[in-house]
Amino acid sequence: MKHAIIIGAGVIGCATAYEMAKAGWAVTVVDKAPEAGYGSTSHSSAVIRLNYSVYESCALAYEGWTYWTNWKDYVNLPESCPLAVYKETGSLVITNRDSPDLANITTIMDRLGCRYDRLAADQIGRYLPGADLHGYAPARRLEDEDFGEPTGERIAGAVFFHQAGYVNDPKLAAQNLQWAAEAHGASFRFRACVAGIEIAGGRACGVRLADGQVIRADVVVNVGGPWSSGLNRMAGVTGDMTIRTRANRQEVAYIPGPVNMDFRKEGIVVADLDAEVYMRPDPVGICIGSTDPQCDPHEWVDDPDELDTRFTDQWTTIVMRAAQRLPELRIPGQASGVVAMYDTSDDWLPIYDKTGLPGFYMACGTSGNQFKNAPVVGKIMTHLIAACEAGHDHDMSPLRFQLEHIGHEIDLSAYGRRRVINDRSSFSVMG
Q: Check whether 125 has a pLDDT greater than 80.
A: yes
Does 227 reside within a domain? Answer: yes
| 296 contacts 312 by C-beta, under 8 angstroms | no
Which residues have CB under 8 Å from 46's CB, separation 6+? 166, 167, 168, 169, 170, 173, 371, 372
Percent of the chain with pLDDT strictly greater than 70: 100
- Asked if residue 262 and residue 381 are part of one domain, the reply reads no
Phi/psi for 390 (5° steps) reads: -85, 0
- Asked if residue 126 and residue 268 are part of one domain, the reply reads yes
* Structural domains in the chain (count): 2
- Asked if residue 324 and residue 258 are part of one domain, the reply reads yes
DSSP state letters, 59-116: HHHHHHHHHHTTHHHHH---TTS----EEE--EEEE-BTTBSS-HHHHHHHHHHT--E
Q: Identify the pLDDT of residue 124.
A: 97
Q: Where are the extended beta strands (E) located within 311-379? A: 337-345, 351-354, 360-364
Range of the domain at 309: 91-162+246-344
Does 104 reside within a domain? Answer: yes
- Asked if residue 110 and residue 34 are part of one domain, the reply reads no
Does 407 reside within a domain? Answer: yes
What is the rounded average pLDDT of the residues 142-150? Answer: 93
Does 427 reside within a domain? Answer: no
CATH of the domain at 116: 3.30.9.10
Q: Identify the pLDDT of residue 46.
A: 96
CATH of the domain at 17: 3.50.50.60
For residue 424, what pLDDT band results from cuts at 50, 70 and 90?
confident
- Asked if residue 310 and residue 257 are part of one domain, the reply reads yes
Provide the 10 A C-beta neighbour count for residue 90. 18
Q: Identify the pLDDT of residue 59.
A: 97
Residue 429, judged by CB atoms within 10 A of its CB (0-12, 13-18, 19+), counts as buried
pLDDT digits (tens, 9 = 90+) for 229-276: 999 999 999 999 999 999 999 999 999 999 999 999 999 999 999 999
Q: Helices in 364-415 by DSSP H: which ranges?
A: 374-389
What is the rounded average pLDDT of the residues 390-409? Answer: 98
Strand partners, 215: 207
Q: Identify the pLDDT of residue 367.
A: 80
Does 430 reside within a domain? Answer: no
Does 109 reside within a domain? Answer: yes
- Asked if residue 250 and residue 158 are part of one domain, the reply reads yes
- Asked if residue 111 and residue 19 are part of one domain, the reply reads no
Q: Check whether 100 has a pLDDT greater than 80.
A: no
User: Which residue type sits at 163?
Assistant: Q
- Asked if residue 199 and residue 72 are part of one domain, the reply reads yes
Q: Identify the pLDDT of residue 297.
A: 81
Does 289 reside within a domain? Answer: yes
What is the rounded average pLDDT of the residues 418-425? Answer: 92
Query: Whose CA is closest to 198, among 182, 184, 181, 219?
Result: 219
Distance from C-alpha of 351 to C-alpha of 362, rounded to nearest angstrom: 7
Distances (CA, A) of 155 to 138, 211, 329: 12, 57, 19
Distance from C-alpha of 59 to C-alpha of 46, rounded to nearest angstrom: 18
